[in-house]
Amino acid sequence: MTAIYGHWVAHGLASFEYDPPDVAEMARRHAAITEAGYPYLLAEADGRVLGYAYASAYRTRPAYRFAVEDSIYVAPDAQRRGIAHALLGALIQACTAQGFRLMVAVIGDSANAPSIGLHAALGFNRAGLLPGIGWKHGRWVDSVLMTRPLGEGQASAP
């Protein structure tokens, strides 16, 4: 997972971090997410991690407790094999089973057609655009916000 995430930090716009975290920091982040009760999924083949996805708190204030943010990262050489689709689909199911009501995608770069398309294919709708919210790789980068209701969504009280 560290190598996958590190690649996208160094070469992509999915993360707005500048410096790839080391193994210890990635382990700390993983522990924080799983200890808080959020799902963390891996896609593996032949003993190698090909991708991973997890949900985390969208915001920490109590009123947001039924909303989660998704994160998905796939190894560069494992792209276009359905891994992200499978991971996100399983993450949606896991979060729905846990009683969450809304999943939020915060997608780095409005030109990130693969991630926007993936989310749209799994029922997400565009909710907004944060133009030029980040500076990375020598340019301003947008964030696209997409949302997907989970379970009954906002149709009933939790």
pLDDT in tens, 20-44: 999 999 999 999 999 999 999 999 9
Please, what are the domains in the chain?
A: 2-155 (3.40.630.30)
Work out the average pLDDT over 63-90.
Answer: 97
CA atoms within a 13 Å half-sphere pointing along the CA-CB vector of 141: 17
What's the confidence (pLDDT) of residue 76? Answer: 95
Report pLDDT for 111.
95
What is the mean predicted confidence (pLDDT) over 98-108?
98
- Give the DSSP letter of residue 81: S
Distance from C-alpha of 83 to C-alpha of 105, rounded to nearest angstrom: 17
Radius of gyration of the chain (CA): 15
Confidence band (pLDDT; 50, 70, 90) for 9? very high
* DSSP assignment letter at 76: G
pTM value > 0.75: yes
Q: Cβ atoms within 10 A of the Cβ of 31, count?
A: 11
* Main-chain dihedrals φ then ψ at residue 13, nearest 5 degrees: -125, 5
pLDDT of residue 71: 98
Calculate mean pLDDT across residues 122-146. 98
